[in-house]
Amino acid sequence: MLSKSAIIHYDVIDSTNLESKRLIDKEKIFSPTWIIASKQTAGRGRGDKKWVSQEGNLLASLILPIGFSLDRLPFLSCIVALSLHQCISKVITDNKPLKIKWPNDILYDDAKLAGVLIENSLSQSKNFSIIGIGINVAHHPIIEGKNTTSLNAIVQKNMKTMDLIKSLEIILYEYLEKLINNSEALLIDEYKSKCWNYNKTVKFMTNDKVLEGILIDISKDFEIIINANNKNIKLNAGELSFDY
């Protein structure tokens, strides 16, 4: 049994994030609720990309009533990434690198294994965060120029998506406690230790330009800081995408 959240399961839905928004708009959500789908017909990724959503993969959104000050919202992205990393590292036993690509993609040996799309629904009556999570469990899409992988291929067995969700929820609530208890500095340090290409050269895209620089820091507001052409550039999640 899940400890804290209700669950609504769909065999097929367009997108669990979209359904979450609809349920919030209809005032049907009062407490943390997982919206889980076996299949999505219009799965959405960050930056208006599609998320290929085949049956057998983990496709879920956690609707979370926001119980902390809105200025900590960027940190939700940080703790979701840390939670997903911990959840996946519990089932992967080999020594290949498992990293968080800022802000919250999970890469195994430089191949994309999981992604997160957080969308907030803020209103005068109630604030919610919709934490959309996709883990390639049984399948991974073939995308030209990108490395992708799946959990079953890594661990050589069939993982159950509900087991992963249960484990993820427990870990996420532990991290939420830390967020509520003002442990941002520790969370950022932990994040940096797991961050893909930290202190290394990265290629990234901002304002339609491809640039190269060294990923030198993550700010206290969870922005990425890259040194490019001897200048430090600070960007938030909407302003940068990586070429990897």
Contact residues toward ligand BTN (CB under 6 A) are: 15-17, 40, 43-46, 49, 51, 59-61, 105, 115-117, 132-134
Q: Smallest gap, in angstroms, from Cβ of residue 162 to ligand BTN?
A: 15
Cβ nearer to ligand BTN, comparing 146 with 220: 146
* Distance, CA of 121 to CA of 173 (rounded, Å): 20
Long-range contacts of 88-92 (CB under 8 A, 24+ apart): 88/113, 88/114, 88/135, 88/151, 90/167, 91/151, 91/155, 91/159, 91/164, 92/151, 92/154, 92/155
**Measured from the CB of residue 211, what is the shortest distance to ligand BTN in angstroms?**
21
Token output for 6: 């209700």
Cα torsion 235, 238, 243, 244: sign = positive
Nearer to ligand BTN, 47 or 67 (CB): 47
Sign of CA dihedral 152, 153, 155, 156: positive
Residue 115 φ/ψ, nearest 5 degrees: -145, 160
Q: In angstroms, rounded to a whole number, what is the distance separating the alpha carbons of residues 222 and 209?
A: 22
Is the peptide bond preceding residue 103 cis, with omega within 30 degrees of 0?
yes
Smallest separation, CB 141 to ligand BTN (Å) = 11
| Angle, alpha carbons 101-105-109 (nearest 5°) | 65
The residue length of the chain stands at 244
Find the residue with minimal CB distance to ligand BTN.
Answer: 115
In this structure, the number of other CB atoms found within 10 A of the CB of residue 82 comes to: 21
Taking the complex as a whole, the smallest distance from the CB of residue 89 to ligand BTN amounts, in Å, to: 18
Shortest Cβ distance from residue 230 to ligand BTN (Å)? 31
| Minimal distance, residue 14 CB to ligand BTN, in Å | 8
